[in-house]
Amino acid sequence: MDTITKDWKRAVSYGVVIWVILFIVASIFVGFGVGEDIIFGLIMVVLAFGLSYYLAGKVGVKNLKVGLQYGLVFALVGLILDLIITARFTTAVFSQWHLWLGYVGIILAPAVFAQYGKK
């Protein structure tokens, strides 16, 4: 299959899972006062990529096109949830470098899985 048409519900739900885990981890870091640290940003980017890569494996992404479709859905769900929820807690969320780099990782990870992951 070359699209996620039949599996869009799972793509959206996995996008929610990625966002929830990242939100919880970020909240813990912010709670301890290290939410602006560069290490925090790097951890969040690596975690975003890793979650997206892992979930791409769970859905069985087999080619680059489908991988990019899953990645885009995962990232779009996260962006919508950030607009609705995260922006209420901090107005600077969309000016943080690690947020945007994390989204790039979320988009690319399923494509990387399609090319190099276990099939």
Cα 27 to chain centroid distance, Å, stands at 16
Helical (H) or strand (E) element with 105? helix 97-116
Whether the per-residue pLDDT at 12 is higher than 80: the answer is: yes
**35 has a pLDDT exceeding 80:** no
What total of structural domains would you count in the chain? 1
| Whether 36 contacts 93, CB under 8 Å | no
Contact 25, 113 (CB under 8 A): no
Distance between CA atoms of 14 and 8, rounded to whole angstroms? Answer: 10
CB count in 10 Å sphere of residue 94: 13
For the residues 17-29, what does the mean pLDDT come to?
A: 96
- Average pLDDT over the chain reads 92
Total residues belonging to the chain:
119
Which structural domain range is residue 17 located in?
5-116
Q: Give me the pLDDT at residue 33, please.
A: 85
Contacts with 86 (C-beta within 8 Å, 6 or more apart), sequence order: 23, 93
| pLDDT bracket for residue 15 (50, 70, 90) | very high
**Which single residue is written with the structure tokens 């885990």?**
21
Token pair for residue 29? 């870091």
Per the CB < 8 A criterion, the answer to whether 57 and 117 are in contact is yes
* Residues 64-116: tens digit of each pLDDT: 999 999 999 999 999 999 999 999 988 788 999 999 999 999 999 999 999 99
Q: State the amino acid at position 28 in one-letter form.
A: I
